[in-house]
Every structure is written in structure tokens, then in C-alpha cells.
Structure 1
């Protein structure tokens, strides 16, 4: 069994990757790895609070480790932080890190470069999958909420929606069904990899600048 850590966004592709890895006879998933902002205590692109990732990890029965990054972190700062984490994994005899990337060659090449001088290998259990088929299958088997959307191809009304067949039908033709180009991000709260659902409700949607554009973020709340 190959001891593997999964790079965890909390979204649909990561959840499908976890399901695939748990079905594989030669993979043992040791835990999840997530990056969050030190100032916000949230994922930068998803806007999801650290507490929700902790609840999500508990619901899938795995420990989660957080890499904290400042809001203005450079690539060099990110790479130093990840190198330290990778070194720690190697000391614990972790053999590889899994990524849920589907088709972006440049992203995979970057990850491979970061691992090239380490003791860990990269693993891509979903690489090359058809994104339309994967999205449709996910919508049938999992429950997820769209937590952030890129304001250029999508309006704020897409944030906070369930990731389901209707959401997919409403996407503009130029938007990848899995949001593989960063068009949207999700938070998965139930499905085959979960021992129990993560109870969440949707709150306010806010718009914030990101780079040269803007993203619409829907706040996820835990019922009281």
C-alpha cells in the first residue's frame, strides 16, 4: 500500500479523487493537505473557513493539515512553505502527494517541478478524465455548494447554488463543467466518501477583487 496524502480543496474534484483512491487496492490515504490564509483563516480561492475544512475532514474520517500563507504570499513563499511540509511528510514515510487536477498541463508541470528534488512522488488519479462526464456523475452521487465564481464568465447568482444538473445546464458554453480553468469552486458536504454529512447553509454573497478581476463568494454557515 502506497502511503499517500491528498491535496484537498474541499471541492468536487478532490472528493472524487478521494473516492477513486479509496477504491484502489494499492493506495492508503493518510490524510488531507489544505492551504489557508493566515489573516482570514480561509482558503484564498474558495473563501471557505478553516473550521469547515476541519468538519469536512472529520466527516470523511481523515486528519487534515493546514499550510498557512499570508495574503500577499509570493510563489517563493508558497514554495518554501510547501517544501517544509513535504520534508515533514518524507520524515513520516509518506510516499506521495495526490492532486485532483484534470487537464491543465502547466499546473501539473509546476507540481512535478516542486516535487522533483523531494523524496515524494506526485499522483494524479483523475488526470485526463472527461470533465463533462465527471461533472455529471458527481452531481448524481454527491452534494456540494458553489462557494465562489469568477465574475468574468459568471454572475453572482451562480454563487451559493447547489452543484447539480440544473447548475450544469445553466453554465455558459465557454465554462468548463468542472470549473477546471478556475471559473468556479465548490464545497462538498455529502456523498460516498462521507461518514456523515457536513451541515451547512448559505449566507451572504460578497464580491471581492482578485487579480485584475473579481470573484463572487457565498458565505457558508453552520446551523446553530
Structure 2
């Protein structure tokens, strides 16, 4: 008797456009949709990446992308309301799982679980709790390439923004900075890798420094 094939759950991947999300997709193999948020200015609030660059990623990956559009001064309550509306829609579409690329921040994971509570959608963490020294090697060895788009000025100076995330970058990172930037030290935009049909043509633009909350962040614009 032939074995019964169990269908993979319909999965949406929470998408930052960065290295961890790209590696999570690599681990998952197949997802129904990418999900990310952008502000009214057409950029992601955390990374400052332009919406058209996310569109280019999605096209190169061959996966649809869904945007949650947020006001520029977005309260947490408004964010949660808009996210809940999308999750309700996903339930009607038969989405069974939302995957996240968090590595080890327990409070973030607990928050995501809380937001999914009361729905039929499960959370999934395909790259959870690695040794981050080993994880960044797995990422590089897989052939991914990315540009650093945001750095926390309290951890890294502005010269790190706009650099490729490679062996040279890692060699220059000060002690105490997580090699995957999981504590928010830096964020990336992936433009090539084993899941891409072809590399994106990305041009590095100006780096600007902005005050965000009580901190200072350096943003490198990409085109």
C-alpha cells in the first residue's frame, strides 16, 4: 500500500527582506505569500527600504508579497488592529501557519504568539535558537548576498551602513555585536541567493543619520 502524502500547511512568511527572513525561506522551501509592512512614505519603518525593492525581491523569488500599509505615526494599537484584519483574512483563505525569522528573542516570540492567539493560525520559527556564529556561516555558505541598510549608532558607526554583509564586514564588527545583528545592531537587504531566480541590481545611495526614540540610527538608501 502506498504511503499517504501529508500536504504541507499553507504558510505565509513574515518578510523583512533581510538575511534571516531569506534564510527562513530557504529552510521552509515553499510559502504561499510574503507579508511585510510599509509606511505611507513607501518605505519599511525599521529598515528604510523602498517598497519597489521588496517588489523586486518577490519577483525574483517567484512569490506574491502582501503589504500592510501603516501611518507614519503608527501606534501599537493601530498596528495590531491592521495585523489582526490581515490574519482574519488569512483564516478565510485557509492559511494555516505564519512563519517568523526570529532567532532568539523570547519576548518577541511570545508577543507574536499572543497576536495569533484566538485564531486558527499557528506560528512557526524555522530558524529558532541557533548559535549565531554558526548561523551566519550557514547563511554565507548557502550563497546569500546582502547589503547592510541600517545600523544602530550605539553599536556601529555610520561606515558600516551600505557595506555588503560578508567576511570583511564580520571581521570589522566590534566584540559584543551579535554576528546576526539579532539585538538590532544592524539590518540587511538580501539581493541574491539560492532562492533567487537572478540577482537584483541594487545601487547603494546616501547614508543619513536619524534620531529614533532615544537612539541614533544610520540608514543607507538603496535603489
**TM-score, normalised to structure 2's length?**
0.95
What is the aligned partner in structure 2 of residue 51 from structure 1? 52
**Aligned to 1:3, which of 7, 10, 27?**
10
What is the correspondence of 1:1-224 to structure 2 with a 5 Å cutoff?
Answer: 1-22=8-29, 28-38=30-40, 40-140=41-141, 141-221=143-223
Larger radius of gyration: 2
> 1:114-163 CA deviation, whole Å, 9 max, x = no partner?
00111211000001111111112222311100001001110000000000
Q: Helix, strand or coil: the match of 1:84?
A: helix
Q: Helix, strand or coil: the match of 1:209?
A: strand
Does the CA-based 8 Å contact 1:5-1:30 persist in structure 2?
Answer: yes
How far, CA to CA, are the matches of 1:92 and 1:51 in structure 2? 26
How far, CA to CA, are the matches of 1:117 and 1:132 in structure 2? 36
Does the CA-based 8 Å contact 1:136-1:165 persist in structure 2?
Answer: no
**TM-score, normalised to structure 1's length?**
0.94
Following TM superposition, the consecutive aligned residue runs of length 4 or more in structure 1 with deviations greater than 4 angstroms are none
Q: Helix, strand or coil: the match of 1:204?
A: strand
What are the ranges of 5 or more consecutive residues in structure 1 without an aligned counterpart? Answer: 23-27
How far, CA to CA, are the matches of 2:215 and 2:31 in structure 1? 36
Q: Helix, strand or coil: the match of 1:144?
A: strand
How far, CA to CA, are the matches of 2:137 and 2:157 in structure 1? 22
